[in-house]
């Protein structure tokens, strides 16, 4: 029975590799979103002379939004892979991000939630800039969603702080 248990546990542990293709797919999705960034940047460069300042600002906010979504994807890809699939051995790499050594599932959740608050804030700012073309109810819902994201992020961060403090206190 012990041998069967060992084999079964090995299979369960190896099942983490099922997630690897998902992270690979997210890398491809990052490339697709980068294409959209370049497309929007070229569009802004070509049309900058004939557009209003508000339209330019909305275009720039779109670029910032894409950048933040890509940052979120990188956190999910690198942090998720390193946390749930396999260690990424970059100890001597000059471009190794500092946050990679401090990442765990809780920290990753807080970072992701913070990124969602930033992305939601960009969408809300775009709505405020373009408020005359927006439905008031739609903007109200965006505000509600943004506040919920903000509150959730604060609660996640507080929970992580309490858990880390109590864990450090035990050791």
Q: Judge whether 57 and 129 are in contact, CB under 8 Å.
A: yes
Q: What is the pLDDT of residue 45?
A: 96
Token pair for 32: 């697709």
Q: Judge whether 9 and 1 are in contact, CB under 8 Å.
A: no
pLDDT digits (tens, 9 = 90+) for 94-151: 877 776 677 777 777 888 888 889 899 998 888 888 888 888 898 899 999 999 999 9
Handedness of CA 137, 139, 140, 142 (dihedral sign): positive
Q: Name the residue with tokens 């508000």.
A: 54
Q: How far apart are CA 36 and CA 151, in angstroms?
A: 31
Q: Which of 130, 120, 140 is CA-nearest to residue 52?
A: 130
């Amino acid at each position: 029975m012990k041998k069967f248990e060992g084999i079964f546990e090995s299979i369960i542990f190896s099942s983490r590799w099922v997630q690897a293709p998902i992270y690979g797919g997210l890398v491809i999705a990052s490339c697709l979103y980068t294409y959209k960034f370049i497309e929007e940047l070229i569009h802004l460069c070509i049309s900058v002379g004939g557009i209003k300042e508000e339209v330019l600002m909305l275009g720039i906010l779109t670029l910032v939004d894409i950048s933040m979504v890509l940052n979120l994807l990188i956190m999910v890809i690198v942090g998720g892979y390193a946390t749930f699939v396999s260690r990424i051995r970059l100890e001597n790499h000059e471009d190794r991000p500092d946050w990679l050594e401090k990442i765990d599932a809780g920290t990753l959740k807080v970072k992701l939630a913070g990124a969602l608050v930033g992305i939601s804030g960009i969408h809300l700012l775009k709505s405020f800039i373009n408020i005359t073309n927006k439905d008031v109810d739609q903007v109200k819902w965006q505000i509600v969603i943004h506040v919920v994201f903000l509150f959730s992020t604060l609660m996640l961060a507080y929970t992580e702080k309490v858990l880390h403090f109590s864990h450090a206190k035990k050791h």
